[in-house]
Amino acid sequence: MEEIENIELGIYRRQINEDIRNLVEKYRGIFGGDVPDIDQQRADKLILDAMQESLEIVRKYLAA
């Protein structure tokens, strides 16, 4: 039998993905508004890298 945590996560996975996409779009808008001639591909990479760093910080916090 599948663990209850995996079942619950499956229910919310779509919402998590949508929330993360919305967060990326939020910061894309901030970047675009501040710098009109922005390299969007580079900005996206910077945003995703920053989000990854933040996830690692949260992961360590939760493991403590």
Question: pLDDT, tens digit, for every residue of 11-64?
Answer: 899 899 999 999 999 998 887 777 778 888 998 999 999 999 999 999 999 999
At residue 46, the pLDDT reads 93
Buried b (16+ CB within 10 A) or exposed e, 20-58: eeeeeeebeeebeeeeeeeeeeebeeebeeeeeeeeeee
Q: Which residues contact residue 44 at a Cβ distance below 8 angstroms, ignoring those fewer than 6 apart?
A: 24, 28
At residue 15, the pLDDT reads 93
Query: In the chain, what are the domain boundaries?
Result: 4-63
pTM (predicted TM-score): 0.76
At residue 7, the pLDDT reads 83
